[in-house]
Amino acid sequence: MSDLDSPTDPHSFSRPDQCRLISLDLVWDIDFVKKVINGTAYIDLEKNSASITTAIFDINKLSIRRVFCKESGNNLEYEIGNPDETFGSKLEVKLPNGNKLKLTVGIEYETSPDSSALFWLSPLQTAGKQHPYLYSQCEPIHARSFVPCQDSPGVKFPYTAKVTVLKEFVVLMSALQQSSNVCRSNSSKMEFFFKQPVPIPSYLIAIVVGDLASRNIGPRSKVWSETEFLDKAAFEFSETEEMLKVAENLMGPYVWSQYDLVVLPPSFPYGGMENPCLTFVTPTLLAGDKSLANVIAHEISHSWTGNLVTNSTFEHFWLNEGHTTFVERKICAKLGCGEPLRNLLGMIGKKSWADYVNNPNTKPNFTRLVPELKGVSPDDSFSSVPYEKGYALLYYLEDLVGGPEVFEPFLKAYIEHFKYHSINSHQWKEFLLSYFTEKGKGSALRRVNWNDWFFETGMPAVPISYQSCLADACQQLSERWCSTGDSNFGQFSSSDLDQFSTPQTLEFLNQLMEQDPFSLTKIAHMESAYHLFSQGNSEILFRWLRLCLRAKWNKCIPHAVSFINKQGRLKFLLPIYELLYQWEDTRQLAIDNFQEHKEEMHNLAVTKISKMLKLT
């Protein structure tokens, strides 16, 4: 049996079934010069029997200085296992003798400058250009690289933190700030105190340190950013409270007290990250017209589906993301154009899902709703599948049992039943069947082929079709462009898109992506008609650049390079780099540009793009 053969999680060395982390207290000092965090983790443990003699934690490139029993102050023996490049090392601590089932272990340590959870930005990589910046990204298994823990989503715990940093910085965490004061022992530093009373998995521990300011955007929400982004961010996310209220109506009370957002620097690799009390968002959402606020609806939904009820391992990641996408689209529909909008968003999502499934480079295992991930980094399996296949399953089930008015009460019951816990797909299915059997709807679910949905590769055997009247105009405009030869372009003008909502424009471009590449003449006339290179909406620009690169239009090359250099969002970077690499004329440009800018990128982006460019 290898070190990673944990009975509870294929990605963890820890044994919470024997000795479990039940709460965490962090004391940290931020060192921007060395690019490390120095500190102590006080870990409250509970043994399942007095005979247990060791506690096992996950670490990755942590320098352990001392391990001790907090109660006695005595040092404890420990052993660090051989390091694995992906999963780090096992830290095995010998516990003091005695019959006590609960105790507190202290671990003094220092992070590595190469910590995969921490991203240190130079002043030049920030908007203000004056101060460095630090942010973390722990999901899925990177918390172990900045705190010793049982780094599994099946282990949830409350935490507190005291963070010391130079006075010019503001510290934020995925917790409620309790207070801040000048450090008594060093007046050039500040101390910030945080408390997260709701149990969370380790991947939701988060920190941001920078020259940050805030603005109230609701009775329980602030937006934080560098001052250069603050006005735009406050405008863009002004509907946050409305979304929170709709989410509460669907899933029950919001238990986290505060819902703040922080706009991170452009290198952040995701659209958003649902850290409790403090959602991280990319500046690519700042479109200027609130047209990408659906990402905020998604992150808000995670406050219930993912944060309150959590997948027990990342093989069941769809429980987080499928439910969250389902609720996100319900929020957007209730605040927008109803079911036609929800179905249009489903069509857009299905396109990205099908693209991934049909990509010859995609591993079939990763197209399963519940993939086999033993020995596989969950970073490698990240895709649209848990989002869109999970959404499709829930959409299908909703239709089977009688529609939204029948299915929506299940969401609230599901959250109430499993809140504060981590579950797997089997537990979810058993609760679903029990709930609807009690409601007299059990027979409607007998036709569901659960094995196909959970474990078969590719698209599901049951065809999922989202019908939306909002897509009709998109289809008509797409057909007009496809049926027009390299002439008669006078029929097209900017008014074609002026009448579209953002989701309609995205669907129009998606439909064009399903056709053969346009001629150079046609693609140039489309730009003349619609001026898409000047789009402030990153999702629209992303799709337009892909269309242009497929057509091998030289004029788009500087726009594509500028786009991938200005932001670090993985969903944008990977497809654009792939198209540049596939086009022989731009292959070397893609490699050279990556080599020049990789130091500005998140390490996850560097790893994935290196593989795609065949550099590793």
- Residues with a catalytic annotation lie at 299, 387
Does the pLDDT at position 438 exceed 90?
yes
**Distances in whole angstroms, Cα of residue 421 to Cα of each of 252, 298, 310:** 16, 20, 6
- Give rounded-to-5 percent helix, strand, coil for the chain: 40, 20, 35
pLDDT in tens, 279-320: 999 999 999 999 998 999 999 999 999 999 999 999 999 999
Q: Is 272 annotated as a binding residue?
A: yes
Centre a 10 Å sphere on the Cβ of residue 421 and count the other Cβ atoms it contains: 14
- Give pLDDT tens digits for 576-603: 999 999 999 999 999 999 999 999 899 8
Q: Is 60 exceeded by the pLDDT of residue 2?
A: no
At residue 1, does pLDDT exceed 70? no
- Would the pLDDT of 3 be above 80? no
**CA–CA distance, 375 with 354 (Å, rounded to integer):** 26
**Statement: residue 5 has pLDDT above 70:** no
Per DSSP, the residues of 271-337 read SEE--TTEEEE-GGG--SSSTTTHHHHHHHHTTTBTTTEEESSGGGTHHHHHHHHHHHHHHHHHHTT
What are the tens digits of pLDDT across the range 357-408? 999 999 999 999 999 999 999 999 999 999 999 999 999 999 999 999 999 9
Mean pLDDT of 443-460: 97
Torsion over CA: 49, 53, 56, 62 (sign):
positive
> Is 274 among the annotated ligand-binding positions?
yes
For residue 75, which of 92, 57, 96 has the smallest C-alpha distance?
96
Q: Is residue 342 annotated as involved in ligand binding? A: no
- pTM of structure: 0.96
* Tokens representing residue 376 in the block: 């596989």
Which whole number is the average pLDDT over 540-549?
98
> What rounded mean pLDDT belongs to the chain?
97
Q: Which CATH class is domain 329-455?
A: mainly alpha
479 among annotated binding-site residues = no
Neighbours of 13 (CB within 10 A): 26
Question: Is residue 542 within 8 Å of 563, Cβ to Cβ?
Answer: yes
- The yes/no answer on whether domain 1-113+135-196 falls in CATH 3.30.390.30 is no
Query: Each residue of 108-140: pLDDT tens digit?
Result: 999 999 999 999 999 989 889 999 999 999 999
Positive or negative, the Cα torsion across 54, 57, 61, 62? negative
- Taking only the tens place, the pLDDT of each residue in 469-503 is 999 999 999 999 999 988 889 999 999 999 999 99
CATH 1.10.390.10 placement within the chain: 329-455
Cα–Cα separations (whole angstroms), residue 293 to 240, 336, 388, 431? 9, 12, 19, 32
Tell me what the mean pLDDT of segment 3-18 comes to: 90
- Taking the C-alpha atoms of residue 207 and residue 223, their distance in angstroms, rounded to an integer, is 15
Residues in the chain: 616
Give pLDDT, residue 257. 98
Comma-separated ranges of CATH 1.25.40.320 domains in the chain: 469-613
Residue 273 counted as an annotated binding residue: yes
Q: Where in the chain is the domain with CATH 2.60.40.1730?
A: 1-113+135-196
Q: What percent of the chain has pLDDT over 70?
A: 99
For 469-613, give the CATH class: mainly alpha
Reported confidence tier of residue 616, pLDDT bands at 50, 70, 90: confident
118 is in an annotated binding site: no
Residue 450 has pLDDT above 70, yes or no: yes
Q: What is the pLDDT of residue 134?
A: 98
302 labelled as ligand-binding? Answer: yes
Whether 510 has a pLDDT exceeding 70, the answer reads: yes
Residue 321 in marked binding region = yes
User: Is residue 144 classed as helix, strand or coil in its secondary structure?
Assistant: helix
pLDDT tens-place string over residues 44-103: 999 999 999 999 999 999 999 999 999 999 999 999 999 999 999 999 999 999 889 999
Q: Are 320 and 301 in contact, with CB atoms under 8 Å apart?
A: no
Q: How far apart are CA 156 and CA 153, in angstroms?
A: 7
